[in-house]
Amino acid sequence: MSPVATVLYEDRMQVGAGATFPLHDLILKWVANQTERPLWELQKLVDKNPRNGVSKLLGDVPKTSRIAGGGCLILLVDRDHIAEHVHLQKNAPDQQVIEAILRKSDAPQKLTIYFLHPNMEGLLSSIEDYDPTLPAPLKKDPNARDIILKKARTRPAHLRDCVRSRQPGIAALTDKLIELCRARP
């Protein structure tokens, strides 16, 4: 089964994490809830590719066609500093930032871009707001971040949906993946 999408993440995968990347796993959990497909099947349909930084993520954009293969390429990137990386003002409108990234692609029709607002810490704050029993992560601590994301994945769907409602980029990304996965029998 070839993937319907590859998601490039700005963040990095922890050393020793095996094949897990908790942000991707959380996103697939939202997709699983809506498609009623098992996680193992979704993991085959949607590849993850954590890039360890904006520069590496943007460096892959000119290779969209190769990375996407027969599917599409999706970027999930922190909104707070991406504009400067594409030579725009920090407060440039989202659409202007998206257009600047698409211009770098060899296959812009296969590329979709979503933002975490304002960044990963904003997502973690959204998680903490809906479930105060989860510990607040230490700033920029990838291990604490991963623990929170793993725990959030196990929470009831209605609680996870509260996070989704506060992160429009996550909501749009999961909606796109739901659409792609439903189209694949």
Q: At what angle do helices 157-166 and 120-130 cross, to 10 degrees?
A: 140
Can you name the residues that pair with 21 across neighbouring β-strands? none
Nearest to 171 by CA among 8, 58, 27: 27
Taking only the tens place, the pLDDT of each residue in 151-177 is 888 888 888 888 888 999 999 999 999
Comparison of pLDDT for 142 and 85, the residue scoring more:
85
| Residue spans per domain, the chain | 5-124+167-183
Helix (H, G, I), strand (E, B) or coil at 71: coil
Asked whether the predicted pLDDT for residue 83 surpasses 90, the reply is: yes
Helix (H, G, I), strand (E, B) or coil at 75: strand
E strands of 87-154, at which residues? 111-116
Arch. (CATH architecture) of 5-124+167-183: 3-Layer(aba) Sandwich (3.40)
Q: How confident is the model at residue 131 (pLDDT cuts 50, 70, 90)?
A: confident
Asked whether the predicted pLDDT for residue 1 surpasses 70, the reply is: no
pTM of the model: 0.92
pLDDT at 102: 98
Q: Concatenated DSSP letters for 14-56?
A: PTT-TT--HHHHHHHHHHHHHH---HHHHHHHEEEEE-SSHHH
Q: How confident is the model at residue 18 (pLDDT cuts 50, 70, 90)?
A: low
pLDDT at 49: 94
pLDDT at 144: 81
% of the chain beyond a pLDDT of 90: 68
The count of other CB atoms within 10 Å of the CB of residue 64 is: 22
Q: How confident is the model at residue 6 (pLDDT cuts 50, 70, 90)?
A: very high
Taking only the tens place, the pLDDT of each residue in 20-73 is 899 999 999 999 999 999 999 999 999 999 999 999 999 999 999 999 999 999
